[in-house]
A and B are shown apart, each in its own frame.
Chain A
């Protein structure tokens, strides 16, 4: 039998890495089990001439399409939004756009302000120092002073405006609407061993330059140097409990597929809003027949995705195409509730600079704007290198019928039951999406765009996996308490996006990591009485 570790973290992605690094200073024996392996940037798509084609296969954002040994299948047939993720050291930070807004202070008090959903048990101010610490560790770039966003202090200057940014900025100015250069985790100068961005363009499926921060090149090197043990290609099947109802360790399959048991004094789950409820439900036992930490019945419930309403068009001037990071600007013009719009809450906007030639051809053919035959060449030259995009990240409110359960049939390569998603877009979200599309159309038309196309929702847009093990002070209405400890099992913590109470209208990774650092800090302050 293996020696017990002090702390066992499951998952080496955004939150697991931040937690591991933060706890390392305690000098406890910290072990992280990760189902994927270390990435090799020399194999990233942008190193080859077939860089765009790879996004449709081995570098697809969908684990169901990608089907790497490290991935687990997800039954998302009953959802208009498909789950996308990445499984490796670094998790989905390996494959994300590096757009880096934070939740706003008002996002933590939606019940008080707008009478919907629930307030968080913590507020923005509690997270402020951890947002700052996380920005330093991840290495952010941006322009401080956005009047409609929380104040940030990015250590690096913002990305260039580029051709696309200038066109968007002029259109937004004509309309009198807010825009601002995005905070991103794209390094605009050499930073902490990372080389600055050289505009490879194909940022989302991993950055060969290392300019886009992912936790395999930010937190993990520091954590490993500080003594954290990271065991890769280890897939956890279940968390075990002892006669006192405490977590006793985990059962996992090692790199050779051999079942192992790893005892631990503290278990921390960092598997995202789909992987975490899957693991808790797969950890059902005679003591916890409905799944571990599930006395509330809310494990897997309240799944929030952020429905994306996307609209794009083509301007006469050249845009940045694939020769720049894809996102550069945001707008918070419609972030806050204005009931005259016909819906509650709001959405953030991220503008998209353009696309590469293969993506342009494939998508435009599917949309029916790129013909077959003799006219193909003329039309393609009008489209390629002229695209501008607008994506609204619509706040998804928690609804219990949107959920993650265990699929009765589908299993992963180790025979572990796979997650099943049941999700519908609410009427409030639909109205929000329609509002966003109308605003996007105004912006694009003001910029002179034609051939306007819509994706609403973006089908493969389930990047943000939130809410399925929510935080709260009431054990009957939440899964973890206000510092991430499960109400039911006093040495079991959850630190990923599943603990979100509400989703806000922005990309969540910055807030996920700030929460992980906050919970790590709470644990360090309570080491003497962590289980009381």
Chain B
């Protein structure tokens, strides 16, 4: 696919590394990290109109790291990530959004959050009607609509 081809092997490696720094795997919550192969594949397959900004973000990241991100020691990698997050601008924001929007639609993640694995339509959701007696004080207080001359 063209969008996949637009990221180099190095860029895909860096994307995977930074994604894991944003959302790491968790045994406690039984969820994968954002570097999970299925989530990464989703990102690459759906980059679409974000490809330009994400590529720019990865170029920026490469300049900051000066070598593959995964090969940096932990301290240096964290420093690069902080700099990237702080000064990466619209491109970094787009990359982070792409990571999060793919992560938070993954079946395993949604299941961990107690959310249903489906689109909202056509089933929808049930909304409790609630206790409308809460409105009684407002009715009792009333008030006056400002009149126009």
Contact = CB atoms under 8 A, between A and B. Distances in A.
Contacts of B119: 46-49, 51
Interface in B56-115: 81, 85, 93, 96-97, 100-105, 110, 113, 115
A289 interface: no
Interface in A192-215: 197-202, 208-209
Contacts of B22: 365, 372-373, 376
Nearest to A197: B124
B125 A173 contact: no
Q: Interface of chain B, helix or strand or loop or mixed?
A: loop
Interface string A27-69: 0000000000000000010111111110011100000000000
Interface string A249-280: 00000000000000000000000000000000
Contacts of A163: 128, 130
Interface string A413-443: 0000000000000000000000000000000
Interface residues of A, number: 69
Interface stretch (A107-115, A235-243, A495-503, A521-529): A107-115
A166 interface: yes
A362 B146 contact: no
A321 to B, nearest CB: 9
A79 interface: no
In which size bucket is the chain B interface?
Answer: 35 or more
Given A49-B118, A57-B48, A165 B124 contact: no
Nearest to A169: B134
A179 interface: yes
Interface string A159-194: 111110110011011001011110000000000000
A176 B46 CA distance: 49
A528 to B, nearest CB: 32
A336 B124 contact: no
B101 A161 contact: no
B128 A162 contact: yes
Contacts of A200: 120-121, 124-125
Contacts of A530: none
A211 B138 CA distance: 29
Contact of B104 (A106, A109, A160, A358): A358
Given A47-B119, A178-B143, A179-B138, A199 B105 contact: no
B88 to A, nearest CB: 12
Q: Interface of chain A, helix or strand or loop or mixed?
A: loop
B135 to A, nearest CB: 7
Nearest to B18: A372
A113 B149 contact: yes
A159 B100 CA distance: 31
Contacts of A202: 120
Given A173-B138, A335-B146, 14 more contacts: A56-B50, A57-B49, A57-B50, A109-B148, A145-B139, A148-B143, A161-B130, A162-B127, A176-B137, A181-B135, A200-B125, A208-B122, A365-B100, A374-B26
25 contacts: A48-B119, A49-B117, A49-B119, A52-B101, A57-B50, A106-B145, A106-B148, A109-B149, A147-B144, A148-B143, A148-B144, A149-B145, A166-B130, A173-B134, A198-B125, A201-B125, A209-B121, A209-B122, A323-B125, A358-B105, A362-B96, A362-B97, A373-B24, A377-B31, A384-B113
